[in-house]
């Protein structure tokens, strides 16, 4: 029989492998890692492993980290309005314990080169700890994902190739947007050499990241995206918006019909550097390309930079969807300024 905890955990990890990887990578980013390695075994079916060089976990927290709703990140209730860390619900490790075999190896700066290996019970209670060799940082290993939810496990087994491809898309977005972070992704076993699926070099710009992830040639087919406009509305739900200014920065396909060199058919959207699903924004971009008679799907890497009061993050359990206030006005301004940018570019 399934426990309530397992069913709820299945909802937290609602997007399957994508949720697993997203939660682990965001924990690494929250720990200020500058190097993040994601290793899949058998496309994630056997294991997903995330190795970072972040702060490590303090021994005082070993007992708590996998308990439901425990988090080291949120300090006051007011923080809920302006969360800057990715995590704050304390649900990811707890859910992964309920759904898989999870273990953690971690070391803080003062402990390395000694570290600790932690194993947990399904409930999230600490089962065992042992001393191991480890560099500063944290490795989280998730094996046999969904082993406690047989239907979800079968579904993953059936669709693992497709899921894995989608996860790579999400990882490409993180690798592209995170400047100063070395990302590398591996899928094992690979025949012969240990070659990454892709890797970035800890570049200072998203442009260099895009070149690392999608190939240097891609840049030829791209132009810099640089939009800036003011929003007219100032209040939403009784709250004053701190700043009305919105910037949209990134890299997009040249708006040229029949452009010889094609950019990859990929579209990534971010809000303040956080990868998000923004279907209406995507549609607005694609509509503008159509008015320029571009029919092939353009490459879009677009980061919307705006005041944190202009949107709500915690709409979906896995925080990939975002609710933008004043969306209608934003879409209109976006289209107008993008058309202006393209028109100027063509001259």
- Sequence-distant (6+) residues with CB within 8 A of 237 are 325
When CB distances to ligand ADP are compared, the closest residue is: 87
Contact 253, 278 (CB under 8 A): no
Residue 209 binding: pick among ligand ADP, Mg ion, none (C-beta 5-8 Å cut-off by kind): none
Binder of Mg ion out of 45, 92, 222, 304 (CB under 5 A): 92
| Number of other residues whose CB lies within 10 A of the CB of residue 158 | 10
Contact 48, 27 (CB under 8 A): no
Q: Whose Cβ is closer to Mg ion: residue 86's or residue 299's?
A: 86
CB of 124 to Mg ion, least distance (A): 13
C-alpha of 191 from chain center: 29
Binder of ligand ADP out of 18, 38, 45, 92 (CB under 6 A): 92
CB of 268 to ligand ADP, least distance (A): 23
87 binds Mg ion (CB under 5 A): yes
CB of 317 to ligand ADP, least distance (A): 12
267 binds Mg ion (CB under 5 A): no
CB of 31 to Mg ion, least distance (A): 10
73 binds ligand ADP (CB under 6 A): yes
138 binds ligand ADP (CB under 6 A): yes
d(CA 57, CA 70): 14
CB of 46 to Mg ion, least distance (A): 23
54 binds ligand ADP (CB under 6 A): yes
d(CA 252, CA 339): 13
Q: Which of 189, 198, 203, 233 is closest to 327 using CA atoms?
A: 233
Q: What are phi and psi of 109, to 5 degrees?
A: -55, -40
172 binds Mg ion (CB under 5 A): no
Binder of ligand ADP out of 9, 19, 53, 71 (CB under 6 A): 71
Encoded tokens for 332: 């209109």
Radius of gyration of the chain (CA): 21
d(CA 43, CA 3): 28
The stretch near ligand ADP (CB under 6 A) out of 5-13, 27-35, 209-217, 239-247 is 27-35
CB of 137 to ligand ADP, least distance (A): 7
The stretch near ligand ADP (CB under 6 A) out of 88-96, 148-156, 161-169, 192-200 is 88-96
d(CA 124, CA 46): 21
C-alpha of 270 from chain center: 9
CB of 52 to ligand ADP, least distance (A): 5
Binder of ligand ADP out of 9, 19, 55, 122 (CB under 6 A): 55
100 binds ligand ADP (CB under 6 A): no
Strand-strand pairing, 245-253 and 222-230: antiparallel
Cis ω on the peptide bond leading into residue 339 (within 30° of 0)?
Answer: no
Residues that bind Mg ion (CB under 5 A): 27, 87, 92
């Amino acid at each position: 029989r399934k426990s309530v905890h397992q069913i709820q955990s299945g909802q937290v990890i609602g997007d399957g492998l994508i949720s697993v990887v997203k939660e682990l990578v965001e924990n690494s980013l929250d720990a200020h890692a500058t190097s993040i390695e994601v290793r899949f075994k058998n496309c994630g079916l056997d294991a997903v492993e995330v190795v970072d060089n972040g702060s490590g976990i303090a021994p005082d927290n070993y007992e708590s980290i996998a308990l439901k709703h425990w988090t080291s990140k949120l300090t006051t209730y007011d923080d809920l309005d302006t969360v800057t860390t990715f995590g704050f619900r304390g649900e990811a490790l707890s859910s992964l314990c309920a759904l898989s075999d999870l273990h953690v190896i971690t070391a803080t700066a003062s402990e390395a080169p000694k570290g600790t290996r932690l194993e947990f019970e399904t409930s999230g209670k600490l089962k065992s700890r042992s001393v191991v060799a480890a560099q500063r940082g944290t490795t989280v290993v998730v094996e046999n994902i969904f082993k406690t939810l047989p239907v979800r496990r079968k579904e993953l087994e059936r669709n693992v190739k497709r899921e894995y491809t989608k996860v790579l898309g999400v990882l490409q977005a993180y690798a592209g947007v995170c400047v100063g972070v070395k990302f590398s992704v591996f899928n094992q076993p690979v025949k012969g050499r240990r070659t990454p699926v892709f890797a970035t070099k800890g570049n200072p710009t998203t442009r260099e990241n895009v070149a690392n992830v999608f190939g240097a040639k891609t840049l030829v087919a791209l132009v810099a995206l640089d939009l800036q406009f003011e929003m007219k509305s100032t209040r939403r739900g009784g709250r004053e918006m701190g700043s009305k200014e919105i910037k949209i920065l990134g890299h997009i396909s040249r708006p040229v019909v029949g452009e010889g060199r094609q950019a990859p058919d990929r579209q990534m959207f971010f809000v303040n550097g956080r990868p998000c699903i923004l279907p209406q924004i995507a549609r607005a971009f694609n509509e503008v390309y159509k008015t320029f008679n571009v029919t092939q799907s353009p490459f879009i890497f677009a980061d919307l930079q705006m005041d944190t009061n202009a949107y709500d993050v915690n709409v979906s359990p896995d925080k990939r969807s975002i609710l933008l206030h004043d969306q209608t006005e934003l879409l209109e301004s976006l289209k107008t300024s993008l058309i202006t940018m393209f028109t100027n570019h063509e001259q």
